[in-house]
Structures are given as C-alpha cells and as structure tokens.
C-alpha cells in the first residue's frame, strides 16, 4: 500500500518535473531568440552605414532659465562657452597633439599634466576638457588647424553669466559642477561640465530653471566629426525666475553699504598706490572689482563694510533689495575658481559666502524697543504719557543696569524714550510687562519665524523664554535678563530680514505681511488679516520713530541735512559685542574706533519713508560698524532716498 | 517494509567525495571564469576592484560546495525549520536596524561579504517547503487545508523582502516556492484559481509599491515614455547589445560611448557588456552554460529516490534558473529592471554565496541520492 503510494508520488513528481523542464527549455529558447533578434536582426540597422561611420547617442543639456529683476533685467543669464576637448582614442599620441596645440593657443603645463592623467584614467572614448572660455579668435585659429590636431574637438556649451557680479550674488547664488553626493541617477547630471545651483535662487529654484535634456542620435565618422544630426527630441528650456528685486536699487544699496562712512576712491588713486608702495597690503575683502576702494579720513585703505540691508515694500511685502556684503563674483565659479581664491573666500573673517541678510543672526539692540513699548501698551501696563525718570543707572535684583547715557535723561514719556533711546524707561516697561508678553509681541512681528520666501539658509533667530533657557542651559530665568532683553541685548537674536519685516508690520497698520521675492501675476496686495493692534498704540510708536530722526533730541537727528528732498523715520541700535567692564565704564574708554574691529558694536538702523505715508522700509546692519545712528542711519537714509527716486512700486 | 535498496545512514567520507558530481562543479567554474574576465573588463582591464575579490570568493564558494556536498542530507531535512527561522530573524533584524536609523539596509557586514538575509531566504524557503511536502501523503496534498501552512511559509518572507524594498528578490522567492508546490503535485486548477485571484489583487498591491518600483514597471511596459529617466538604461542596454553583433567588439574593446551611461556593469548589466564584447556567440555560450547547469539539476533529480532530495534539487535549480532568466530577460527588455544579478558572473558576495550553496546542496542531494527517509527522517521505512 505504502509502496504503491510512493510509486504514485514518484511518478507524479517525474511528470511534473518533465513539464517544468519543458517550460524552462522554452524560456531559455526565448532568451536565445531575443538575443538573436537584438544582435542580428536589429544590428542590421546600424550596418547600412559605412564602416567608419557610427551612431552615437548624445545627450543635449538643457538651457538654464534666467533670473530676472522686477523690470526683466537679467541677473543671471547664459553665454556661449567655447571649449576644447580631446578624445584620446582618436589620436595616436595625446602628448604630441597637445604640443601641437600649444603652438596655436596657450595651454599651461599644469593643464597638460592634468589632461594627460585624466586621459589615462578615463575610457579612451570619453572626451577630456582641454580648456574652456576661449575667445572667438582662438577658436578660429584652432578650427583652421583641426586636420593637424587629431582628437581635438571644439564644443560650444553654455556658461552661466552674472552681469552684476557680486552686486546681487547673495540673491542669485552661483552654479558649480555637481558633487558626488548630489548625483541622483539622472544621466544629465553626469554630463561633463554640467552645473547645478549651489546657493541662492540658483539653488532653491534649481529644478525649475534646469529644464529637460534631450536625447539625440548623431552620426559621426572615425575622426569624431559629426556628419549629421538626426531629428530627435527638442530640449526643454528651463523656466525663467522673475524676482521682485529692483537691480538699480540693489546695486546702489550694495555699494552704499560696503562704503560705510569712508570715502570711495578709484583704485588707481595715488593714495591707494601710496598705501601699496608703503608695503601695506590691501585689507582682506578689499574689492577693486568695482574700481573703487574704501579709504578713511586719515587716508588709510579700509576693507568694505561687512553687513546686510533689506529694502521692502510695506504694502505688499515685495523685497526690493536684499544685500549682504562683502560678496564675491559668482562668475568665477562658472569659469573655474582656483584653490587660492576659494581658500580666500572661506577664510575671510567677513564671510563673503554667507548671505547675512537672511542667515546672519544679530541681537536687535535698541531697534527692539518699539516691540517692548507695544507689548506694554497692549497689555495696558503703560500708556503714551507714562513718565519715568532716568538717573542713568538703576539697581535691580543684585545687579546694576545702565542707560547708554551715563548722566541720565531725566523725566521722559514713551515718545521721548524712543526718541532718545532711553534704556531705563525700557527697563521699567519690562518690569511691568514681563518676558512672556514681550516674546509674544516679538513673535507677532516676525521674530523667530522663517518665511520660506525663496532663499535658502534662512535663520530663525531666537526669542528667549524661561522654558528655553531651562532647556538649553538648565538654569532658571533671572528677572534681570528680562531687562536686558527689553533693550534688544542678551539672548535675543534676529536676522536683518526679520527687522525689515518688523518695520513693515509697524508702518502698514499692523498687517502681518511676509516678504515676497518672486514676481507673479496674481500677486495679492495687502493681506486682509491684521495683528489686532490698537491703531493709537502704533501711532505712539511711529511718533517716537519720527522723533528719532526729526526730533530735536533724536539719536539720529544728525543724518538730516538740507539737501534731503524727503522725510523719514526710523530707529537706531548699537549692539554690544563685548561686555563693557566696570573699569572701561569708569575710564570712559568706550570709543568704538579705538577697539579692534571684531570688538566694535554692531550698528543697526530700521527706517521707513515717506514719513507721513510710509511705503518703503529699510533695515541696515553693519557688523562692528560702531554706533547705529552714526554708521547705519546715513546708509539707511541714502538707500531710502534712492528707493523713493526709483519708486519701484509705482504702477 | 523496504521499498528500495537502503544505504547505511553514514557513508564514508571518501566514498562521498568520489560521488560528488564534478562535471557540475566544472560548469560552475567555467561561469566564474567568465565572470572574472568580465569584471576585469568592467574595470577597464584591471583586476581591481572587482575581479580579484571575485576570484577569492570563488575559492571560498568552492569550499562551501564541497562541504555542503558531503554533509548528510538528513541534516538539512532536520534543520529545515531552524534554517528558515534563522533567515526570518535575520530579515527582521535588517528591517529593524534600517528603521532604527542606520538607513535602508539590506545586509549584515561579515567582512569578506555583506550577507543579505534575503539571499539566504531564497534557499531556506526551498528547504523548508521540500521538507513540508516530503512528509505529506498524496491525499494530504490534495487537501487545500494542508496548503495553508506552506503558503504562509512563502508569503512571510515575500512580504518582508518587498518591504525592504527589493521587488526582484521577492518575486524570486515567490516563484521558487510556487515551483515546489507544482512539483509536489498540487493540482493545476488550484494554480489557475490563485492566478486569477492574484490578478484581482494587482490593483491593491500596486498601491503598496514605491514610486520608483511603479515607474520601473511602467517603463518596462513602454520604455519610450521616459527615455531619459528609468527607460534610459534599458535603451542604452539594448543599443549596447545590438551593436555587439555576431562576434562582438572584442575583449575590453567593446566600450562604446553609450556604455558610458550604463549603470552597474559589474553587477546587473554584466551580461550586456559580455554580449557587446563577445557578440551573439559569447551570449549564447553563457546561455548554454546555464542551460547545462539547469539540465543537470533536472536529470540528477530523476535518479533520486527520496522525495525531499528531489524537491530540493528541482527547487534550487529553479532558483538558479530564475536568477539567470530575470537578469538576462531584464537587460534585453523582456522583463522590468528589478536588480537581480547573474549568478557566478556578476560581482557580489551574497549572490555568489547563495548560488554556490545551492550547487552544494544539489550535490549533497546527489551524493545521498539513495538515502531513504521516512516521514520523520529517523524512521527507516
């Protein structure tokens, strides 16, 4: 019985095995048939051509979209790039070909060495770059000689070109060759010389501007000369990106910010020559590209100021200029940057690679006082006429808290306090309103917020809270820290962009607008929402900002001069970078000029114009620039004057 | 009651070594030799970085074949569920390790090779099913209730491997399992029924596939829709094959510019390069070698008395066959590109070890072809 079943099963297995064997046999036959079809039948297609000719598949890189300003002036565009390549399998002797080439155009021994080692490493049919950005003249010379230059190919590519160089570099960003870690498997990224956005708009809108590559068959002869191109797909151009920036204003603001309070003189001025002759090197970051250098009243050549400025339309949030200095020339990345220049960019203490307008984090200093005043007004713990006497110093807890004016301001109301930037008044408000409500008001004005408006690398800043401090340092919040925060010092941090947004929201009637960098047709004007602030309170604060510039005791009253055709308001801030010791306070050795650059105060100014009907807003931060009203205020004034002159928001 | 000539359970080692099927080993060696040559070519005429390691792994694999070949088949029979359980645990381990933050990881680093549990699973699933069906009577197999357990044994690893996500391996495990069901004698109408059920499930499974997996399947159905993305490699592969012609372009000479864009010539697309450099003739030689290996497995199985050995031999032969068919089929555009290597030729330790182990087990089945096992191996029927 068991034996019978065993036999039955054995027979069944054998039968099934035979069936399976048959299936596999036919599948093998299918593979063989397919192989035959591909290698014999389809191969016929390629054999109809002469022996020397063959088809290559060519991947045509797409043309990158441009970056335009609000008036369609290109900030980033493409220009023809003539390149020479060598294909080692098409020449008997690479070194000999290069020697011949050297007789026609300049090829440095360094690049010869690079080319020789690259041709050894790469497969023999892969073209190796010999040189790029050739002049038309050189191209013509090489073209005539091609019969004697086997393996040399002339190729026209596209190079990214930034006509405004470093003036808009922190907006446009730059493109560079893709790094190993950025490869996604998309073959177009592996084309030699293909570049992608590495920072700025180039990075954040890379995929939109990149477009789509096309694949095309080309028939080439044995020398690699293209005989004919077969019709194929068309490349898809990348899309343009149009910004709200006004490049005129942007250029002006960049130059003005870099100039600071120094005199701008041409680079061929005898004074510059003298400085160089005396063996003094130009300071790091000195930029003769604009044809000018900074010089102070004693004739010393100075580095351009390091800082940021943002100009915005307070009605619709358009960012009209966004400046960070010093910058660098993004074209140098397109044409290849040497190691020394790159090292220089990275080691420069004024960090030209960082977009300080969105990434730089600074304490707001006295520019924060409007927020504290509003917090106190809205909480009902103070009103416009609340009077406080400033003796120059108060004791609170176990510490002494100073006003910037050693001898005190006497009796002040709120508008006076803003006008004269009295610290004691703010300490009093801070005691009444508390850190929580100050922080809440700051958040309503955009502190601690990122806007994702199109530029990469936005910093969040910091609104300090007791909970935050406990989490970060494991320590309790001191009441004294509330006082320090109320004058914009201590832990609190913000970006120049956030300062501009704050000022917009102050002057537009308390509407929570966000910065806008992309120009699109269906732009919303004023947001209908509101921060729900009492208009009377906003008026009080704006009155104070008016007085800062136009009042008889305003901290920035000296920036007003007769030539001015407009009026503006604003608020200065000077942020201590280094704690002032008791000794220094006593001896009065506080002059910014006498301190080393990195210990000087940051100078800030936020401003708006026109005074009676505010439309444009500017924030200026000058790193280690000294006093806000002496360094940053004149810059803000000139930028606003230029803004009103250009009036970019007019219809 | 004895139904056939029964060997003693313990065979002398020398006797076993003599019974080893050396022609099968020679076929495998030939394939590995071709692999060495192709990896040498893939590196542009260099034994670094692939060819040398491939050679070392071949010798290790040879040792594995001999050792597995002389191990008593009862050992595999008894250990079937344990091997299966270990494989499942390793699969779960990489699954969890991946989730705990080492990133998507399919392997465990063992130094010379990176062990992929999913590769191990391909063999374990065959062993466990062979054991399961070995002890089922003719009538039990006819009973659908007895099929629930083996179906689960197949589906569990398939689901785990799909989650990795490795569609190619999951399909291979499922198909290997299916073949054992078939050989063991499950009725044809049941396959048809499950096939129809499977079709009905397609839209549901589709939702669980990752975007790139869907894309690959769609690309396979019409490569022209995406000539630059996923379809690009397939088109390039076909051009490389087509331009190879009858005799090919010659060793290392074959690299045309389009090959420049072929990914993974040392693993998944090694056959493309081979057929480009050695033409149709080279491609057919490789196909013939694999055909002979498959035939060998089938023919050997006819001489085996015990059901476990037969099922195991057919199952493992099928696993090897699937590697070959899926790999060559995909580079020629017959199947979607799923990332399955070509056994003995592609670079990769796990796949080589799996293939070598499969050969070792087949040889063990052959060496112990006369061993008779009852339903519980110790019971001499």
Question: DSSP letters of A358-385?
Answer: HH--B--GGGGHHHHHHHHHHHTS--TT
B153 CB-near residues (< 8 Å, 6+ apart): B84, B125, B128, B129, B132, B177
Q: Taking Cα atoms as reference points, which of A410, A437, A435 lies closest to residue A424? A: A410
Token readout for B59 is 């010798």
pLDDT tens digits along A47-103: 443 333 455 666 778 889 999 999 999 999 988 888 888 887 778 788 888 888 888
Q: Is B133 on the interface with A (CB under 8 A)?
A: no
pLDDT at B5: 42
A448 CB-near residues (< 8 Å, 6+ apart): A442, A460, A461, A462, A463
Three-state DSSP class for residue A85: strand
* pTM summary value: 0.59
Report DSSP state, residue A611: S
Query: Quick one: pLDDT band at residue A130, thresholds 50, 70, 90?
Result: confident
Q: Above 70 in pLDDT, residue A292?
A: no
How many Cβ pairs closer than 8 A exist between chain A and B?
135
The predicted model gives B154-168 an average pLDDT of: 84
What does residue A54 show for φ and ψ, rounded to 5 degrees?
-155, 165
The predicted model gives B193-198 an average pLDDT of: 84
Q: Is B224 on the interface with A (CB under 8 A)?
A: no
Q: What percent of chain B has pLDDT over 70?
A: 83
Residue pair B265/B273 in contact by the 8 Å Cβ criterion: yes
Handedness of CA A460, A462, A468, A471 (dihedral sign): positive
Q: Which of A5, A38, A90 to mutate to test the interface with B (most CBs of B within 10 A)?
A: A38
Reported as type and span, the H/E element at residue A274 is helix A270-277
Q: Is A187 on the interface with B (CB under 8 A)?
A: yes
Average pLDDT, chain A: 84
Query: Quick one: pLDDT band at residue A437, thresholds 50, 70, 90?
Result: very high
Q: How many CB atoms lie within 10 A of CB A547?
A: 21
Q: Taking Cα atoms as reference points, which of A4, A159, A14 lies closest to residue A77? A: A159
Q: Above 80 in pLDDT, residue A185?
A: no
pLDDT at B8: 47
Instruction: Report the range of poorest mean pLDDT among A30-34, A449-453, B197-201.
Output: B197-201
pLDDT tens digits along A297-339: 666 777 788 999 999 999 889 999 999 988 888 888 776 667 7
Query: Quick one: pLDDT band at residue A278, thresholds 50, 70, 90?
Result: low
Query: Quick one: pLDDT band at residue B196, thresholds 50, 70, 90?
Result: confident
Query: B137 CA to chain A: closest CA distance, Å?
Result: 8
Instruction: Report the range of poorest mean pLDDT among A250-259, A445-454, B183-192, B242-251.
Output: B242-251
Q: Is A227 on the interface with B (CB under 8 A)?
A: no
pLDDT at A297: 67
Instruction: Report the range of poorest mean pLDDT among A124-138, A224-238, B43-57, B216-230.
Output: B216-230
Q: Exposed e or buried b for every residue in B212-234, given b needs 16+ CB within 10 A?
A: ebebbbebbeebeebbbebbbbb
CA distance A638 to A453: 26
Q: How many CB atoms lie within 10 A of CB A473?
A: 10
Query: B89 CA to chain A: closest CA distance, Å?
Result: 32
Query: A12 CA to chain B: closest CA distance, Å?
Result: 6
Q: Which of A2, A13, A121 to mutate to test the interface with B (most CBs of B within 10 A)?
A: A13
CA distance B267 to B275: 14
Q: Above 60 in pLDDT, residue B259?
A: no
pLDDT at A46: 43
Q: What percent of chain A has pLDDT over 90?
A: 45
pLDDT at B110: 67
Q: Do B228 and A187 touch (CB under 8 A)?
A: yes
Reported as type and span, the H/E element at residue A484 is helix A479-486
B295 CB-near residues (< 8 Å, 6+ apart): A21
Q: Taking Cα atoms as reference points, which of B159, B155, B199, B144 lies closest to residue B177? A: B155
Residue pair A574/A628 in contact by the 8 Å Cβ criterion: yes
Residue A312, beta-bridge partner list: A319, A617
* Helix, strand, coil distribution of chain A in percent, nearest 5: 40, 20, 40
In chain B, residues with a C-beta closer than 8 Å to the C-beta of A215 are 227-228, 232
pLDDT at B97: 73
pLDDT at B103: 46
Torsion of CA B342, B345, B349, B355, to 10 degrees: 60
Token readout for A83 is 């390149």
Q: Which of B211, B243, B339 to mutate to test the interface with A (most CBs of A within 10 A)?
A: B243
Residue pair B109/B66 in contact by the 8 Å Cβ criterion: no
Handedness of CA A346, A349, A355, A361 (dihedral sign): positive
Q: Do A36 and B246 touch (CB under 8 A)?
A: no
Residue with tokens 């009155």: A543
Token readout for B185 is 């004698």
In chain A, residues with a C-beta closer than 8 Å to the C-beta of B255 are 123, 125
Residue with tokens 């990769």: B348
Residue pair A266/A285 in contact by the 8 Å Cβ criterion: no
The predicted model gives B268-292 an average pLDDT of: 91
A222-231: Cβ within 8 A, 24+ apart: A222/A52, A222/A53, A222/A90, A223/A90, A223/A150, A224/A87, A224/A90, A224/A151, A224/A153, A227/A53
Q: Is the ipTM of this complex over 0.85?
A: yes
C-alpha distances in Å from residue A173, one per residue of A4, A196, A354, A452: 83, 11, 10, 16
Residue A367 or B96, more confident: A367
- When CB atoms are compared, the residue of B182, B185, B241 closest to A20 is B182
Question: Searching chain B, which residue's CA lies closest to the CA of residue A57?
Answer: B258
Q: Is A235 on the interface with B (CB under 8 A)?
A: no
The predicted model gives B102-115 an average pLDDT of: 64
pLDDT at A51: 36
Q: Domains in chain A, please, with CATH? A: 56-242 (3.90.1310.10), 331-646 (3.40.710.10)
Task: Check whether the bond before A385 is cis (ω within 30° of 0).
Answer: no
pLDDT at A313: 93
CA distance A596 to A624: 9
Token readout for B75 is 């050992």
Q: Which of A315-319, A370-374, A513-517 has the highest mean pLDDT?
A: A370-374
Average pLDDT, chain B: 82
Query: B281 CA to chain A: closest CA distance, Å?
Result: 9
Q: Which of A86-100, A211-225, A354-368, B107-121 has the highest mean pLDDT?
A: A354-368
pLDDT at B34: 95
Q: Above 90 in pLDDT, residue A561?
A: no
The predicted model gives B281-294 an average pLDDT of: 95
Report DSSP state, residue A493: B
pLDDT at A323: 95
Three-state DSSP class for residue A399: strand
pLDDT at A25: 94
Q: Above 60 in pLDDT, residue B225?
A: no
Half-sphere exposure of B333 (CA within 13 A, CB side): 23
pLDDT tens digits along A585-619: 666 556 777 777 778 889 999 999 999 999 999 99
Beta strands in chain B (DSSP E): 108-109, 114-115
pLDDT tens digits along A221-264: 444 555 566 666 777 888 999 999 999 999 999 989 988 887 77
Q: Taking Cα atoms as reference points, which of A246, A290, A285 lies closest to residue A618? A: A246
Q: Above 80 in pLDDT, residue A583?
A: no
pLDDT at A310: 97
Residue A617, beta-bridge partner list: A312, A608
Angle value at C-alpha A368, between A366 and A369, nearest 5 degrees: 70
Angle value at C-alpha A438, between A432 and A442, nearest 5 degrees: 160
pLDDT at A108: 82
* Helix, strand, coil distribution of chain B in percent, nearest 5: 70, 0, 30
Token readout for A37 is 């079809």
Strands A241-242 and A67-68: parallel
pLDDT at A186: 67
- When CB atoms are compared, the residue of A9, A38, A54 closest to B307 is A9
HEC readout, B112-171 = CCEECHHHHHHHHHHHHHHHHHHCCCHHHHHCHHHHHHHHHHHHHHHHHHHHCCCHHHHH
pLDDT tens digits along A393-403: 999 888 889 99
Q: Is B207 on the interface with A (CB under 8 A)?
A: no
pLDDT tens digits along B321-352: 999 999 999 888 888 777 789 999 999 888 89
Q: Is B243 on the interface with A (CB under 8 A)?
A: yes
The predicted model gives A96-114 an average pLDDT of: 85
Q: Is B307 on the interface with A (CB under 8 A)?
A: yes
């Amino acid at each position: 019985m068991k034996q019978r079943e065993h036999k039955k099963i054995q027979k069944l297995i054998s039968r099934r095995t035979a069936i399976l064997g048959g299936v596999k046999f036919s599948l093998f036959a299918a593979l063989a048939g397919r192989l035959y079809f591909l290698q014999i039948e389809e191969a016929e297609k390629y054999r109809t051509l002469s022996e020397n000719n063959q088809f290559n598949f060519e991947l045509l890189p797409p043309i990158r979209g441009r970056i335009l300003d609000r008036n369609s002036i290109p900030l980033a565009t493409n220009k023809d790039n003539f390149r020479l390549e060598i294909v080692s399998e098409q020449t008997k002797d690479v070194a000999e070909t290069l020697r011949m080439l050297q007789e026609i155009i300049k090829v440095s021994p360094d690049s010869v060495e690079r080319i020789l080692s690259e041709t050894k490493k790469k497969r023999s049919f892969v073209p190796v770059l010999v040189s790029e950005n050739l002049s038309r003249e050189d191209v013509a010379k090489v073209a005539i000689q091609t019969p004697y230059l086997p393996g040399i190919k002339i190729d026209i590519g596209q190079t990214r070109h930034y006509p405004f160089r470093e003036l808009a570099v922190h907006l446009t960003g730059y493109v560079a060759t893709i790094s190993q870690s950025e490869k996604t498997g998309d073959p177009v990224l592996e084309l030699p010389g293909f570049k992608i956005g590495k920072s700025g708009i180039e990075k954040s809108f890379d995929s939109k501007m990149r477009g789509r590559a096309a694949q095309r068959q080309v028939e080439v002869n044995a020398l690699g000369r293209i005989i004919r191109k077969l019709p194929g797909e068309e490349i898809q151009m990348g899309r343009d990106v149009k910004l709200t920036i006004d490049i005129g204003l942007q250029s002006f603001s960049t130059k003005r910010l870099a100039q600071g309070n120094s005199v701008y003189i041409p680079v061929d001025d005898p004074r510059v020559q003298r400085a160089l002759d005396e063996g003094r090197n130009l300071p790091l970051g000195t930029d003769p590209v604009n044809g000018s250098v900074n010089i102070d009243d004693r004739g010393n050549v100075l580095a351009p100021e390091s800082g940021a400025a943002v100009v915005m339309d307070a009605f619709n949030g358009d960012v009209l200029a966004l400046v960070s200095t010093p910058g660098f020339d993004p074209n140098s990345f397109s044409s290849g940057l040497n190691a020394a220049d790159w090292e220089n960019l990275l080691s420069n203490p004024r960090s030209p690679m960082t977009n300080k307008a969105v990434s730089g984090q600074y304490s707001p200093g006295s520019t924060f006082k409007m927020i504290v005043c509003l917090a106190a007004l809205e909480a009902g713990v103070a009103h416009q006429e609340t009077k406080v006497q400033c003796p120059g110093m108060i004791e609170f807890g176990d510490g002494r808290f100073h006003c910037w004016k050693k001898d005190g301001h006497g009796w002040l109301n709120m508008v006076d306090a803003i006008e004269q930037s009295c610290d004691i008044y703010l300490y009093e408000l801070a005691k009444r309103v508390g850190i929580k409500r100050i922080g809440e008001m700051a958040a309503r004005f955009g502190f601690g917020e990122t806007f994702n408006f199109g530029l990469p690398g936005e910093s969040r800043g910091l609104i300090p809270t007791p909970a935050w401090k406990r989490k970060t340092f494991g320590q309790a919040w001191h009441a004294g820290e509330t006082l320090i925060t109320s004058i914009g010092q201590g832990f609190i941090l913000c970006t120049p962009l956030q300062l501009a947004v704050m000022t917009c929201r102050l002057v537009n009637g308390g509407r929570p607008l966000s910065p806008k960098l992309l120009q699109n047709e269906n732009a919303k004007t004023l947001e209908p929402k509101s921060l729900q602030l009492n208009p009377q309170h906003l008026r009080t604060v704006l009155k104070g900002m008016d007085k800062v510039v136009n009042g008889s005791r305003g901290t920035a009253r000296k920036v007003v001069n007769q030539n001015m055709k407009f009026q503006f308001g604003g608020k200065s801030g000077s942020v201590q970078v280094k704690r002032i010791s008791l000794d220094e306070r006593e001896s009065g050795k506080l002059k910014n000029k006498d301190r080393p650059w990195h210990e000087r105060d940051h100078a800030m100014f936020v401003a708006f114009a026109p005074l009676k009907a505010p439309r444009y807003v500017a924030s200026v931060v000058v790193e280690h620039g000294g006093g806000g009203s002496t360094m940053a205020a004149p810059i803000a004034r000139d930028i606003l004057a230029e803004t009103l002159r250009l009036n970019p928001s007019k219809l | 009651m004895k139904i056939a000539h029964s060997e003693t359970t313990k065979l002398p080692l020398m006797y076993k070594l003599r019974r080893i099927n050396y022609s099968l080993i020679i076929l495998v060696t030939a394939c590995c030799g071709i692999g060495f040559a192709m990896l040498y070519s893939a590196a542009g005429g260099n034994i670094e970085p692939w060819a040398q390691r491939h050679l070392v792994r071949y010798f290790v694999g040879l040792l594995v074949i001999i050792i597995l070949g002389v191990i008593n088949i009862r050992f595999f029979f008894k250990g079937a569920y344990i091997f299966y359980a270990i494989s499942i645990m390793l699969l779960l381990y990489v699954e969890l390790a991946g989730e705990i933050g080492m990133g998507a990881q399919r392997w465990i680093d063992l130094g010379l090779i990176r062990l992929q549990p999913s590769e191990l699973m391909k063999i374990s699933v065959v062993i466990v099913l062979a054991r399961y069906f070995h002890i089922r009577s003719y009538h039990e197999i006819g009973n659908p209730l007895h099929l629930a357990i083996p179906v689960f044994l197949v589906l569990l690893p398939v689901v785990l491997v799909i989650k990795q996500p490795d569609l190619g391996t999951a399909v291979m495990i499922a198909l290997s399992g299916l073949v054992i069901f078939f050989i063991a004698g499950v009725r044809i109408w049941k396959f048809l029924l499950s096939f129809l059920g499977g079709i009905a499930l397609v839209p549901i499974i589709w939702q669980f596939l990752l975007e790139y997996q869907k894309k690959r399947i769609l690309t396979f159905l019409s490569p022209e829709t995406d000539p630059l993305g996923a379809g690009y490699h397939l088109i390039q592969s076909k051009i490389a094959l087509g331009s190879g012609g009858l005799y090919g372009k010659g060793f290392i000479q074959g690299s045309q510019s389009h090959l420049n864009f072929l990914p993974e010539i040392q693993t998944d697309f090694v056959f493309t390069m081979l057929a480009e450099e050695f033409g149709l003739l080279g491609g057919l030689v490789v196909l013939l070698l694999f055909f002979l290996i498959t035939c060998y497995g089938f023919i050997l199985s006819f001489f085996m008395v015990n059901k476990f050995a037969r099922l195991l031999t057919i199952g493992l032969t099928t696993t090897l066959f699937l590697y070959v068919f899926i790999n060559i089929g995909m580079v020629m555009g017959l199947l979607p590109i799923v990332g399955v290597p070509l056994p003995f030729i592609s670079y990769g330790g796990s796949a080589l070890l799996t293939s070598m182990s499969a050969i070792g087990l087949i040889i063990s089945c052959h060496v112990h072809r006369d061993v008779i096992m009852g339903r519980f191996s110790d019971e001499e029927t």
